């Protein structure tokens, strides 16, 4: 039986750890933070991921955690509401996106993984490099609370996100797509009379998405890339007034943002590795292909990567026959879906870029009006966002 070290306890890493351990394999997951509790993680668990939870027999238990549901996707463009997607017809057990703080999902998955003997999670362990011998990756160097350690394994999987140490240390070449947007991320209190479903509000050169976290809205405020300095120079009063103008029902609440400290700038990237693997090393999730927040699909794609990797690698790891060819198969299986999804995100960025440079008030484009009134459009859009391209299914069995 061969051993695995997963770098990074995000959606890709924790899911892969769970699946390998469930398959009876020894796996150690390293997470550099002491906990999963970080605000900037996305919140969306899409029907494709919920379906995987169903296949693992975990759906009912997961949904006991406090969450909200989105079964329709809508946008308010210049004060006019457009229905973009209807998820209620999807061929999945859960026909909605569950909105749940990502730390709840990661805690849940890691607790489930800990039921299996082979699973080890090390919080506060930060990978600093790879152990390489004769061109083969043989494990990970890490800083731990007890000092530096070397972890020797047969397979290392980089799930360490957009600034992955794994891919840098392995010198895997990266292809960058230009991205014209960044996101400002902050909280605004929510009242029981507010809309249940988070909607995108587009107007006056801005797009604001409100994510319902029950007591408050986690707010994503899209700006042109590099534009935060100018927004700060224009002052908080201006920023708050702009927010209330775009989302009128927040009137009186923008004053909760009483300092720029409460507004985090999240830099958006889209990129991908030419090669996701080298002998002894595989990268998946954002480490192999950083996703934009557009569509809120990055978490789900990372989870799909983990499932594909577990499906393809469990047997070779179990029989001690893992080769580079097995690692390359993971890229072949996932690359098409990832590239086409990124292409769609690039197209969406083009549209958003136009919106961000139109000081408004915006007039809904005719194309949006025509598209959303076409029969089948809402179901198709829901399928793309909710299930995605080439959805994966659990093919492994508990040991
Ligand atoms: C502003 C913004 C908002 C987004 N919102 C959404 C959303 O709502 N829904 C959605 O589906 N997607 C969203 N995305 C995309 C999504 O965040 C990513 O696609 C997804 O998190 C990728 O998962 P991952 O497991 O590959 O990587 P990550 O989630 O980035 O996880 C990587 C993990 O590795 C750890 N790590 C990093 N380096 C090391 C190291 N050296 N040693 C040990 N551990 C390490 C990190 O601490 C982290 O826990 C958003 C992206 C952005 C930029």
**Digit-coded pLDDT (tens) for 306-342:** 999 999 999 999 999 999 999 999 999 999 999 999 9
* Cα–Cα dist 159/306, whole Å: 9
**Ligand 1 pocket, 300 CB below 6 A?**
yes
Q: Point out the residues of the chain with pLDDT beneath 70.
A: 39-40, 197-198
**Ligand 1 pocket, 15 CB below 6 A?**
no
Residue % of the chain over a pLDDT of 90: 79
With beta carbons less than 8 A apart as the criterion, state whether 388 and 298 touch: no
Q: Name the CA radius of gyration of the chain, rounded.
A: 21
DSSP code of 250? Answer: G
- Of the candidates 46, 174, 143, the one whose C-alpha atom is nearest the C-alpha of residue 102 is 46
Residue whose Cα lies nearest atom 1 of ligand 1: it is 266
161 CA from centroid of ligand 1 (Å): 5
Chain length of the chain: 399
Residue whose Cα lies nearest atom 3 of ligand 1: it is 293
* Cα–Cα dist 225/267, whole Å: 8
* Cα–Cα dist 340/272, whole Å: 12
**Ligand 1 pocket, 130 CB below 6 A?**
no
Mutational test site, ligand 1, from 70, 293, 305, max ligand atoms within 8 Å of CB: 293
DSSP string, 99-126: E--HHHHHHHHHHHHTTSTTEEEEET-E
- Of the candidates 372, 351, 318, 386, the one whose C-alpha atom is nearest the C-alpha of residue 19 is 318
Residue whose Cα lies nearest atom 4 of ligand 1: it is 293
Residue whose Cα lies nearest atom 7 of ligand 1: it is 42
- Give the per-residue pLDDT at 198: 64
For residue 130, the tally of other CB atoms under 10 A from its CB is: 22
> Closest ligand 1 atom, CA of 30?
43
* Cα–Cα dist 171/219, whole Å: 36
Condensed to tens digits (0 to 9), the pLDDT of residues 20-37 reads 999 999 999 999 999 998
> Closest ligand 1 atom, CA of 46?
11
**Ligand 1 pocket, 309 CB below 6 A?**
no
Q: Which helix (H) or strand (E) holds 174?
A: strand 174-177
> Closest ligand 1 atom, CA of 185?
1
237 CA from centroid of ligand 1 (Å): 32
Mutational test site, ligand 1, from 101, 161, 225, max ligand atoms within 8 Å of CB: 161
With beta carbons less than 8 A apart as the criterion, state whether 257 and 240 touch: yes
- Of the candidates 296, 378, 282, the one whose C-alpha atom is nearest the C-alpha of residue 2 is 282
- Of the candidates 75, 73, 62, the one whose C-alpha atom is nearest the C-alpha of residue 297 is 73
272 CA from centroid of ligand 1 (Å): 14
For residue 48, the tally of other CB atoms under 10 A from its CB is: 25
**Ligand 1 pocket, 33 CB below 6 A?**
yes
* Cα–Cα dist 117/21, whole Å: 7
Q: Which helix (H) or strand (E) holds 224?
A: strand 216-224
**Ligand 1 pocket, 302 CB below 6 A?**
yes
pTM (whole model) above 0.85? yes
SS3 at position 183: strand
- Of the candidates 95, 91, 86, 46, the one whose C-alpha atom is nearest the C-alpha of residue 375 is 86
Structure tokens belonging to residue 236: 């908080």
Residue in the block written with tokens 């047997």: 315
Residue whose Cα lies nearest atom 31 of ligand 1: it is 10
**Ligand 1 pocket, 349 CB below 6 A?**
no
* Cα–Cα dist 239/395, whole Å: 50
């Amino acid at each position: 039986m061969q051993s695995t070290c997963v770098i990074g306890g995000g959606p890709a890493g924790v899911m892969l750890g769970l699946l390998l351990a469930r398959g009876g394999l020894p796996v150690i997951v390293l997470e550099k933070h002491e906990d999963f509790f970080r605000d900037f993680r996305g919140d969306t668990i899409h029907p494709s991921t919920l379906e995987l939870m169903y296949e693992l027999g975990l759906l009912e238990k997961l949904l006991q955690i406090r969450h909200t549901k989105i079964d329709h996707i809508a946008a308010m463009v210049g004060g006019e509401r457009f229905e973009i997607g209807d998820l209620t017809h999807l061929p999945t057990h859960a026909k909605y996106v569950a909105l749940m703080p990502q730390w709840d999902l990661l805690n849940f998955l890691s607790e489930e993984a800990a039921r299996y003997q082979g699973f080890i999670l090390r919080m506060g362990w930060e990978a600093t490099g790879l152990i390489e011998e004769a061109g083969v990756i043989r494990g990970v160097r890490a800083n731990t609370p007890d000092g530096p350690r070397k972890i020797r394994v047969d397979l290392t999987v980089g799930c360490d996100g957009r600034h992955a140490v794994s891919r840098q240390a392995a010198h895997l070449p990266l292809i960058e797509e230009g991205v014209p947007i960044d996101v400002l991320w902050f909280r605004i209190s929510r009242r029981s009379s507010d809309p249940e479903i988070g909607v995108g509000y587009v107007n006056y050169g801005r797009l604001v998405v409100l994510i319902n976290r029950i007591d408050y809205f986690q707010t994503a405020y899209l700006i042109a890339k590099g534009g935060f300095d100018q927004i700060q120079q224009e002052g908080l009063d201006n920023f708050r007034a702009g927010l209330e103008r775009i989302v009128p029902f927040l009137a009186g609440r923008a004053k909760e943002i009483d300092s720029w400290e409460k507004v985090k700038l999240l830099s958006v990237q889209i990129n991908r590795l030419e090669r996701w693997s080298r002998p002894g090393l595989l990268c998946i999730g954002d480490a192999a292909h950083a996703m934009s927040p557009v569509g809120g699909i990055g978490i789900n794609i990372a989870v799909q990567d983990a499932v594909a990797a577990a499906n393809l690698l469990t047997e070779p790891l179990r029989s001690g026959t893992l080769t580079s060819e097995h690692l390359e198969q993971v890229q072949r299986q996932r690359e098409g879906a990832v590239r086409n999804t990124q292409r769609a995100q690039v197209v969406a960025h083009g549209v958003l870029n136009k919106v961000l440079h139109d000081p408004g008030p915006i007039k809904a484009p005719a194309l949006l009006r025509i598209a959303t009134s076409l029969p089948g459009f809402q179901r198709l859009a829901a399928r793309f966002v909710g299930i995605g391209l080439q959805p994966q299914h659990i093919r492994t069995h508990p040991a």
